[in-house]
């Protein structure tokens, strides 16, 4: 079982796969939350590559976002496996699948490769639940 508080404290660089520039989308708000907590965040969305979200340049692929600590997945569960496999290949330390994103097989592959995995959770919700400080140290 992943210690979520430790994972959030130790992480520094996060790629948000499926980042959106639409304020009503969860990825938009979570990305702002992560930036406000002191993380270095790279939005990943091939359809928005070259644009900016919250002042961060959007890249078209996970490989362009590296090096990474965490890959935060805002994609359908059916797409999560490919993202998790790429995170393993690129040497990420963890994969975080957002609320509603569940792929047990992908999680098992990532864990077997030594990555921490969180599924069906939101870091913004977990941050408050765990009583973490306003910013990472």
Tell me, what CATH number does 125's domain have?
3.40.50.720
The tens place of each residue's pLDDT in the chain, 137 residues long, gives 569 999 999 999 999 999 999 999 999 999 999 999 999 999 999 999 999 999 999 999 999 998 999 999 999 999 999 999 999 999 999 999 999 999 999 999 999 999 999 999 999 999 999 999 998 86
Cis before 67 (ω within 30) = yes
Which whole-number Å values give the CA distances from 52 to 40, 41, 45, 65, 73, in the listed order? Answer: 14, 12, 11, 14, 18
Neighbours of 11 (CB within 10 A): 22
In this prediction the pTM is 0.95
- Is residue 72, in this structure, part of any structural domain at all? yes
Q: At what angle do helices 26-36 and 123-130 cross, to 10 degrees?
A: 50
Range of the domain at 37: 4-130
Number of domains in the chain: 1
């Amino acid at each position: 079982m992943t210690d979520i508080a430790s994972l959030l404290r130790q992480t520094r660089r996060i790629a948000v796969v499926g980042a959106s520039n639409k304020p009503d989308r969860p990825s938009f708000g979570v990305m702002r939350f992560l930036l406000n907590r002191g993380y270095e965040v790279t939005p990943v969305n091939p359809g928005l590559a070259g644009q900016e979200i919250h002042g961060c340049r959007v890249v078209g692929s996970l490989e362009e976002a590296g090096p990474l600590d965490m890959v935060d997945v805002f994609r359908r569960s059916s797409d999560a496996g490919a993202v998790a496999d790429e995170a393993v290949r690129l040497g990420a330390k963890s994969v975080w699948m957002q609320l509603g994103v569940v792929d047990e097989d992908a999680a098992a592959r990532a864990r077997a490769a030594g990555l921490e995995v969180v599924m069906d959770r939101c870091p913004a919700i977990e941050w408050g639940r765990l009583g973490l400080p306003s910013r990472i140290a």
